[in-house]
Chains A and B, each alone.
Chain A
Amino acid sequence: MAGIKSLEELKALRDKYKENIIGRDTSDSENKIRISVGMATCGIASGARDTINAIIDEVSKEKLTNVVVVQSGCLGYCYAEPTVEVRVPGKEPVLYGNINAERGREIIKKHIKNGEIQKDWIIERTFKNI
Chain B
Amino acid sequence: MPNYRMNLLVCGGTGCKASGSSEVVEVFEKEIEKAGLKNEIQVIVTGCFGFCEKGPIVKVTPDNVFYVEVNPEKAVRIINEHIIKGRIVEEYLYKEPVTKEALPEQSDMPFYKKQIRIALRNCGFIDPENIYEYIAVDGYQALGKVLSEMTPEEVIEEVKKSGLRGRGGGGFSTGLKWEMTKKSKSNQKYVICNADEGDPGAFMDRSILEGDPHTVLEAMAICGYCIGANKGYIYIRAEYPLAIQRLRIAIKQAYELGLLGSNILGSNFSFDIDLKYGAGAFICGEETALINSIEGGRGEPTVKPPFPAQKGLWKKPTNINNVETFANICPIILKGADWFNSIGTEKSKGTKVFALAGKINNVGLVEVPMGLTLREIIYDLGGGIKGGKKFKAVQTGGPSGGCIPKEHLDTPIDYDNLTKIGSMMGSGGMIVMDEDDCMVNIAKFYLEFTCDESCGRCTPCRVGNMRMLEILKEITEGRGTMEHLEELKELGQIIKDTALCGLGQTSPNPVLSTMNFFWDEYVAHVKDKTCPAGVCTALLKYYILPEKCVGCTACAKVCPTNAISGEVRKTHVIDREKCIKCGACMATCRFNAITRR
Q: Which residues of A contact B (CB under 8 A)?
A: 1, 3-7, 10-11, 13-14, 16-21, 23-26, 29, 36, 38-41, 43-44, 49, 52-53, 56-57, 60, 68-73
Contacts and interface: CB of A to CB of B under 8 A. Distances in A.
A100 to B, nearest CB: 17
Interface string B74-105: 00000000001111000000000000000001
A26 B5 contact: no
B64 interface: yes
Given A41-B85, A70-B63, A20 B1 contact: yes
Nearest to B148: A7
Contacts of B140: 10
Contact of A14 (B84, B85, B141): B141
28 contacts: A1-B257, A4-B258, A5-B258, A5-B265, A6-B265, A7-B141, A7-B145, A10-B141, A11-B144, A14-B135, A16-B1, A17-B136, A20-B1, A21-B126, A23-B62, A24-B61, A25-B61, A26-B62, A26-B64, A26-B106, A26-B107, A29-B62, A39-B84, A39-B85, A43-B86, A56-B5, A69-B5, A71-B86
Most chain B beta carbons < 10 A, residue from A16, A26, A44, A56? A26
Contacts of A36: 86
B133 A3 contact: no
Given A23-B61, A52-B5, A39 B138 contact: no
A18 B144 CA distance: 17
A17 B64 CA distance: 21
A86 to B, nearest CB: 15
Given A4-B259, A29-B107, 15 more contacts: A10-B140, A10-B141, A16-B1, A19-B1, A20-B1, A20-B4, A20-B136, A21-B137, A24-B44, A24-B125, A29-B64, A29-B105, A40-B86, A57-B3, A73-B85
Given A41-B85, A52-B5, A73-B86, A17 B148 contact: no
Nearest to B136: A17
Interface in B132-159: 132-133, 135-141, 144-145, 147-148
A12 to B, nearest CB: 10
B141 A11 contact: yes
Contact of B9 (A24, A53, A60, A71): A24
B443 to A, nearest CB: 43
B266 interface: yes
Contacts of A5: 258, 265-266
B517 to A, nearest CB: 40
B86 A69 contact: no
A94 B423 CA distance: 57
A72 B86 contact: yes
Nearest to A40: B85
Interface in B93-125: 105-107, 125
B7 interface: yes
A53 B145 contact: no
Given A23-B7, A69-B5, A7 B265 contact: yes
A23 B107 contact: no
Interface in B53-73: 59, 61-64
Contacts of A29: 62, 64, 105, 107
A14 B3 contact: no
B141 to A, nearest CB: 7
A43 B40 CA distance: 17
Nearest to B66: A26
Nearest to B253: A1
A4 B139 CA distance: 13
A18 B265 contact: no
Given A7-B265, A40-B86, A53-B40, A18 B136 contact: yes
A104 to B, nearest CB: 12
Nearest to A7: B144
Chain B CB within 10 A, most for which of A10, A39, A69? A10
B251 to A, nearest CB: 14
B483 interface: no
Contacts of A41: 85
B6 interface: yes
A24 B62 contact: yes
B265 A10 contact: yes
B85 A70 contact: no
Kindly name the residue among A23, A24, A25 whose own CB sees the greatest number of chain B CB atoms within 10 A: A24
A20 B5 contact: no
Nearest to A15: B136
A60 B3 contact: yes
Given A14-B138, A17-B135, A20-B4, A38 B86 contact: yes
Given A13-B135, A14-B141, A18-B136, A4 B265 contact: yes
B547 interface: no
A3 B258 contact: yes
Contacts of A21: 126, 133, 136-137
B138 A53 contact: no
B2 to A, nearest CB: 9
Nearest to B259: A4
Contacts of A24: 7, 9, 44, 61-62, 125
B135 A10 contact: yes
A68 B286 CA distance: 48
Interface string B1-34: 1011111010000000000000000000000000
Contacts of B105: 26, 29
Contacts of B258: 3-5
A20 B139 CA distance: 14
Given A23-B6, A69-B62, A6 B266 contact: yes
B577 interface: no
B62 A68 contact: yes
Contacts of B44: 24
Given A21-B136, A26-B64, A41-B85, A1 B265 contact: no
A21 B266 CA distance: 27
Nearest to B81: A73
A53 B5 contact: yes
